[in-house]
């Protein structure tokens, strides 16, 4: 709604990016974001890394002891004891804690929203970095302050190329194909699988917008759990009249019966599959569960809020996606839950999934024009997915 798109290099727009670069090849975008978009300084980041609920790491490259990895929370003493150079502090999910960082995601409103994982912020002293490595996910690396040198390698690497005995996956060798120095406002897009190596050139800060994508093993793990949950206690029974002479034989009848019991369970071709996938991809990490409002709103409360020109906003951790099922209508997937909705709510669902901030006027128009929109909004407010912005 308040999209401030990334400034692409000339000749490239969102459609060209998605066609030619997204999930395919790296793209360096000079001056793609205004400096004002980056609001977190080193002290504020260090403060977050001291919070027990926030995931943070310190990576120190020590000339004698090699790579040191430590997990937060940290305290003032930890930071005071750091060497002069060659260390990096990384803090995950900063977008869930700071609204000004969540706002940065709006610059990327052209990539599939349900894939977005988090914004990680790293602060590095001169020479600091996490070593040459490969990620399984897409990432936009946004240079927020200072300069960072990014080296890319287009070679294929295997596990045999990793340094042994480390918790982090760091490549033991690296052949450089691209070598770029990024300054504030520069953005580097990397698809999955590209080896990269960032090192701070002086102290610097980098924001990484990371994506997620389940692999076959993860999909199977969750899907089969779903299948098991749908299973009942119907049991294999022996067919009538087994001859005593064949008592040890696993007969074709038993096999057929076992097959039939399993055939009755959901399959990836069933209608239930789409709903399972929608719930799966919108599930949050366990620390980001959303709790319902303490006191439920009535339709009157909602109308009064909007009539006073007060906006709603999506909970910073909420994950949403929608789908239109050929057989039976519209679905809103919301933080691992499914809402089955009439087709007429298509615009409402699109707006809710695409916007972080929901201005009162847009929501009033939605309620006015679309039967069922008020009830949907009310449900989402009471579930805690939409929040009434605190008034200051």
| 136 or 299: CB nearest Mn ion | 136
In the bound state with Mn ion, the residue whose beta carbon lies nearer, of 47 and 192, is 192
Q: Which letter does DSSP use for residue 9 in this model? A: P
Helices (H), 144-204: none
**Beta carbon nearer to Mn ion, 134 or 312:** 134
Which is closer to Mn ion, CB of 135 or CB of 203? Answer: 135
| Residue pair 323/341 in contact by the 8 Å Cβ criterion | no
Q: In what order do the strands lie in the sheet with 337-341?
A: 320-325, 329-334, 337-341
CB of 109 to Mn ion, least distance (A): 23
Give me the residue label for tokens 């290099």: 9
The radius of gyration of the chain's CA atoms, rounded to the nearest angstrom, is 25
Contact call for residues 364 and 302 (beta carbons, < 8 A): no
- Position of minimal CB gap to Mn ion: 135
DSSP state letter for 291? P
Shortest reach from residue 202's CB to Mn ion, in Å: 20
Q: How far is the CB of 133 from Mn ion (least distance, A)?
A: 6
Shortest gap between Cβ of 135 and Mn ion (angstroms)? Answer: 4
**Rounded to the nearest whole angstrom, what is the least distance from the CB of residue 43 to Mn ion in the complex?**
25
Comparison of 51 and 135: residue with beta carbon closer to Mn ion = 135
Give the interface with Mn ion as residue ranges (CB under 5 A): 135
What does the DSSP assignment read for 233-273?
A: -----PPS---GGGTT---HHHHHHHHHHHHTS--TTSHHH
Count CA within 13 A, CB hemisphere, residue 246: 12
Q: How far is the CB of 59 from Mn ion (least distance, A)?
A: 12
Question: What's the first-to-final CA gap in the chain, in angstroms?
Answer: 23
Least distance in angstroms from the C-beta of 130 to Mn ion: 7
In the complex with Mn ion, the residue whose CB is nearer, 78 or 135, is 135
Helix (H) or strand (E) holding 15, with range, is helix 14-20
Token pair listed for 327: 């057989």
CA pair distance 274, 324, nearest whole angstrom: 10
Question: Cis (ω within 30 of 0) for the bond into 347?
Answer: no
Q: Pick from 93, 88, 382: which is nearest to 374 by CA? A: 382
Identity of the residue, 135 or 354, whose beta carbon is nearer to Mn ion in the bound complex? 135
Separation of alpha carbons 209 and 285, rounded Å: 16
CB of 137 to Mn ion, least distance (A): 9
DSSP 8-state symbol, 346: H
For Mn ion, the closer CB: 99 or 135: 135
Question: Which of residues 171 and 349 has its CB atom nearest to Mn ion in the complex?
Answer: 171
Distance of closest approach, residue 197 Cβ to Mn ion, in angstroms: 9
């Amino acid at each position: 709604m308040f999209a401030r798109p990334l400034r692409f290099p000339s000749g490239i727009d969102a459609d060209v990016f998605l066609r030619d670069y997204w999930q395919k090849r790296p793209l360096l975008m000079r001056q793609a974001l205004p400096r004002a978009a980056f609001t977190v300084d080193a002290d504020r980041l260090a403060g977050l890394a001291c919070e027990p609920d926030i995931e943070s790491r310190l990576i120190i490259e020590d000339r004698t002891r090699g790579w040191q990895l430590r997990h937060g929370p940290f305290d003032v003493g930890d930071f005071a004891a750091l060497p002069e150079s060659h260390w990096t502090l990384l803090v995950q999910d900063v977008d869930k804690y700071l609204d000004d960082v969540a706002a940065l995601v709006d610059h990327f409103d052209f990539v599939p929203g349900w894939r977005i994982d988090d914004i990680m912020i790293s602060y590095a002293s001169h020479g600091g970095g996490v070593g040459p490595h490969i990620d399984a996910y897409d990432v936009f690396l946004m240079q927020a302050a200072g300069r960072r040198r990014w080296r890319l390698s287009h070679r294929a690497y295997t596990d045999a190329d990793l340094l042994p005995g480390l918790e982090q996956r760091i490549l033991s060798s690296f052949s450089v194909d691209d070598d770029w120095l990024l300054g504030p406002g520069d953005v580097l897009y990397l698809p999955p699988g590209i080896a990269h190596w960032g090192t701070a050139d002086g102290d610097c800060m980098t924001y990484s917008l990371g994506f997620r994508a389940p692999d076959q093993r993860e999909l199977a793990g969750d899907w089969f759990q779903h299948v098991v949950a749908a299973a009942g206690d119907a049991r294999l029974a022996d067919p009538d009249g087994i001859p005593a002479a064949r008592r040890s034989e696993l007969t074709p009848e038993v096999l057929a019966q076992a097959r039939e019991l399993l055939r009755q369970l959901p399959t990836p071709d069933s209608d239930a599959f789409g709903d399972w996938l929608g719930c799966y991809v919108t599930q949050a990490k366990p620390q980001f569960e959303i709790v319902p409002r303490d006191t439920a709103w009535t339709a009157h409360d909602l109308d009064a809020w909007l009539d006073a020109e007060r906006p709603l906003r999506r909970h910073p951790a909420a994950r949403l996606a929608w789908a239109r099922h050929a057989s039976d209508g519209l679905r809103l997937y919301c933080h691992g839950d499914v809402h089955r909705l009439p087709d007429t709510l298509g615009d409402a669902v699109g707006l809710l999934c695409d916007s972080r901030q929901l201005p009162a006027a847009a929501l009033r128009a939605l309620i006015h024009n679309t039967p069922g929109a008020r009830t949907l909004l009310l449900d989402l407010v009471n579930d805690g997915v939409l929040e009434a912005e605190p008034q200051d």
